Amino acid sequence: MRALVTGGAGYIGSHTCVALLEAGHDVTVIDNLCNSSEVALQRVQEITGKPLAFIPGDIRNPADLDQALGGGKDAVIHLAALKAVGESCERPLDYFDNNIGGTIALLQAMRGAGVNTLVFSSSATVYGEPDTVPVTEDAPLRVTNPYGRTKLVMEDLIRDACQADPAMSAVLLRYFNPVGAHPSGRIGEDPAGIPNNLMPYVAQVAVGRRERLQVFGGDYPTPDGTGVRDYIHVMDLAQAHVRALAYGQAHTGARAINVGTGRGYSVLELVRAFEQASGKPVPLDIVERRAGDVAALWAEPGLAGELLGWKAEKDLLAMCEDAWRWQCANPEGYATAGRSGQA
């Protein structure tokens, strides 16, 4: 299958490209490199021994999209989005422009190119503060931050596009919390600037790149007072995209599917697991809650098993071990190999 991966040079995108190439698909990536590195794509090709095509461009630019979709594509995996909850509260307009505007442009370009299959990178943030956990796909959707709002609007846009075109198929993968790295240590999460997500921050503290971890909130109604999340290994998540691509080719309409492990871990549990994996202490301070965060959120992933034949395989220790291997091999991320783009 000929697949276009938007945002394919990023953290989730690069790992998904590995899974796609290993499954025998032809891969083209479009990425504006605003928070990613072309080095990741070079390493994807080293890991797999297979080539991919790269188009440095922005999905909001019709000319770039026309080039990316040229030559015939069978499907699009849409990963191009800004994704930090805290940052979205500070820069909501940037998130609306990039995430929502980019999705509208992509849907228009897909329609023009006759590409009808889409796998969309959605998020568990669309559930907001859930009534109960684990959360199922039919739970109420109510966002608590601008990032989550963009994902919900993007889902609605895609559903409407499918409703208007009976030939269109879309799988809306609601990610929980992707962490870890490829077992080779060659690709991993490399945020520009101060990490907005927990695992890379913990890893940078353990490797000595940062002094202490700030834990946002120690007074949540959880067993140890810190937020509880469903952490999923990024390679398990990558495999979910491969399965979703096959499902999308065989079905029409839009379907939302949770992608998680079905188990929640607190911030402190993750920190302790990372200390075990790395053999390094992770000093921390508990500070005020962060705007837009919820107390506890983890998945009921049964629908992914039923429809995609997919289930998460790797546990929290494996996630930490792989993240640590990546961090040790790349203490400054891709910077020593030459980072493209900007923070």
Candidates 80, 85, 146; CA nearest to 119 is 80
Candidates 105, 209, 86; CA nearest to 161 is 105
User: Which residues on adjacent β-strands are paired with residue 215?
Assistant: 286
* Main-chain phi, psi angles of 37, to 5 degrees: -140, 135
Please identify which of the residues 11, 147, 231, 334 carries the catalytic annotation: 147
For residues 114 and 112, what is the distance between their CA atoms, to the nearest angstrom?
A: 6
For residues 147 and 175, what is the distance between their CA atoms, to the nearest angstrom?
A: 13
Centre a 10 Å sphere on the Cβ of residue 16 and count the other Cβ atoms it contains.
Answer: 31
For residues 326 and 278, what is the distance between their CA atoms, to the nearest angstrom?
A: 11
Q: Is 175 a catalytic residue?
A: no
Centre a 10 Å sphere on the Cβ of residue 112 and count the other Cβ atoms it contains.
Answer: 12
* Strand order across the beta sheet in which 253-259 lies: 53-56, 26-31, 2-6, 75-78, 117-123, 169-175, 253-259
For residues 206 and 210, what is the distance between their CA atoms, to the nearest angstrom?
A: 8
What does 18-48 look like in DSSP terms, one character per residue? Answer: HHHHHTT-EEEEEE--SS--HHHHHHHHHHH
Hey, which residues are catalytic here? 147
